[in-house]
Amino acid sequence: MGRGKLRVREQVTIETVADGGVGMGRVEGKVIFVEQTVPGDIVDVQQTKKYKDYEMGYVTQFHTYSPLRVTAFCDHFQVCGGCTWQNVAYDTQLSFKQQLVEDAFRRIGKFTALPTINKITGSPYDKYYRNKLEFTFTNSGYINDPTFKKENHADKKPALGFHVRKQFANVFDIKHCYLQPSLSNEIRLALKSYALMHNLPFFDLRAKTGYMRNVIIRNSSLGNLMVIIVVAEDRPEWLNAMLGHVKETFPEITSLYYCVNDKNNDTIFDRDVILYAGEKYMIEQIDNIKYHLGPKSFFQTNFEQAKHLYHSAIALADLTADDLVYDFYTGLGSIALLAAAKCKHVVGVELIEPAIEDAKMNAAFNNIDNCTFIAGDMVKIFTDEFMAEHGRANVVITDPPRAGMHKDVCLKLLELAPEKIVYVSCNPVTQARDIQILAEKYTVELLQPVDMFPQTYHVENIALLKLRK
């Protein structure tokens, strides 16, 4: 951080959006990034950080509100860290996301001439599109009142909801969430009412005491509904009565699970999740592939857009019956299982071992015998020995996490030199960074943005790379 006193920048015009969904303006020849602003806003900005080439800050006063603004539809807007772009119309959000992809390839990828970028594919639903949400119990719900004093802590009430934006230790109570179909709201509210009525202690996020911790609600396009209730102690006299009540109240639930998590953090991947009633799996289906999803299984949270994303990636790969395909960061084999019918063989690699177990299970359920799934770290797995054992792929599909691919993986791809690479990314910035390395041998033929998360700044992007002859 540069030296000198942090000051207020006055009358800053927000010109565009930048990575992370923040507004961007200019002062004295430097870029300034401003939270919770929209292009067209004119604001005074309190600097929070300043560097040689840019500054960061937050709004202290609005002089002019952007004409792009619309009224947010959710009561929890600004407190919640979820739907941070609901103050602009959905068509405007899509244009912003298209721009973010272009900016990433121009600024990070160093493309002086951008490749062909198709128009972003918007979601058919901009509300109630998610198939999974996790809610957190707290004995001390956040009070959204700047005049509230900490010494009045006793005035806080138990809550069940989401973490406050940028405040993980605080949880606010949700009245209505617009992300998941309505039954999700009904289950959440009923579970909270039951816990209060029966004096079940809500969890204290700071002291790490209490009983009720989390509830995870998942649904599928085929009508399956999975509920996972997470508690902090093994108290059968409390747990069985509560689970029985939920089962009886909501016959729509097809899989009812519970988990005892006595750790300090909320993750349950290292804990047993136990089936109380119903089916072991819920089913999701794309084309003729049925995915059996357990309580720990990962699947894209916007099903309709997941279908489009996978279809687009496989179409761009343009597979033939003789192709050997590597599917890196395969997850539970979502893309690999769809691609298997169009090629000779698919080798999927994924770091998370339970995901690979899911992939193998789903391959068996769907009678697919031309997929090999391997658990391991890509940097350690993707070696000369790997290629000698499994053959040298002529097509690679890769869908890494937000951090992108390790540089060594990119360099090994250059060594492998497949004819095509289809790079699916949830972060165009790291995607553009990786493709800058791959550009040594590859031409980017096409970019296809896809909006998986309406009302947020997140955007998926598919890049088709072809080996230069």
Tell whether the model's pLDDT for residue 3 goes beyond 60: no
Cβ neighbourhood burial of 298 (10 Å; 0-12, 13-18, 19+): middle
For 195-249, how does the pLDDT look when each residue is reduced to its tens digit (9 = 90+)? 999 999 999 999 999 999 999 999 999 999 999 999 999 999 999 999 999 999 9
Pairing of strands 54-64, 30-34: parallel
For residue 167, pLDDT over 90 is answered with: no
Highest mean pLDDT among 111-115, 143-147, 422-426: 422-426
Separation CA 327–CA 115 (nearest Å): 24
> Where are the CATH 3.40.50.150 domain residues in the chain?
99-125+302-467
- Provide CB contacts within 8 A for 32, sequence distance 6+: 9, 12, 24, 25, 26, 45, 47, 54, 55, 56, 57
Mean pLDDT of the residues in the chain: 95
Which pLDDT belongs to residue 169?
84
Provide φ and ψ at 106, rounded to 5°.
-80, -45
Record the pTM.
0.94
Structure confidence by residue, pLDDT tens digits, 268-284? 999 999 999 999 999 99
User: Tokens 């937000």 appear where?
Assistant: 402
What are 222's two structure tokens? 């085929």
In percent, how much of the chain has pLDDT > 70? Answer: 97
The topology under which CATH files domain 99-125+302-467 is Rossmann fold (3.40.50)
Report the percent of the chain where pLDDT is more than 90: 93
Pick the CATH number of 132-286 from 2.40.50.100, 2.40.50.1070, 2.160.20.10, 3.30.2010.30: 2.40.50.1070
User: What's at 66, amino acid-wise?
Assistant: S
Average pLDDT for 311-337: 98
Residue among 434, 427, 424 nearest 459 (CA): 427
Catalytic residues: 426
User: CA nearest 438: which of 458, 418, 454?
Assistant: 418
pLDDT at residue 143 in the model: 84
Structure tokens at 117: 């970028």
111 — pLDDT class (breaks 50, 70, 90): very high
Q: Assign 18 a pLDDT band (cuts: 50, 70, 90).
A: very high
Q: Which of 274, 198, 185, 260 is nearest to 230 (CA)?
A: 260
Radius of gyration over every alpha carbon of the chain, rounded to an integer in angstroms = 24
Instruction: Identify the CATH homologous superfamily for domain 8-64.
Output: Nucleic acid-binding proteins (2.40.50.140)
pLDDT(187) > 80: yes
Alpha-carbon span 319 to 335, nearest angstrom:
13
Q: What angle do CA 274, 280, 285 make, to 5 degrees?
A: 140
Residues of the chain with CATH 2.40.50.140: 8-64
Backbone angles phi, psi at 179, to 5 degrees: -95, -30
Residue with tokens 């998370």: 352
- Confidence at residue 81, expressed as pLDDT on a 0 to 100 scale: 87
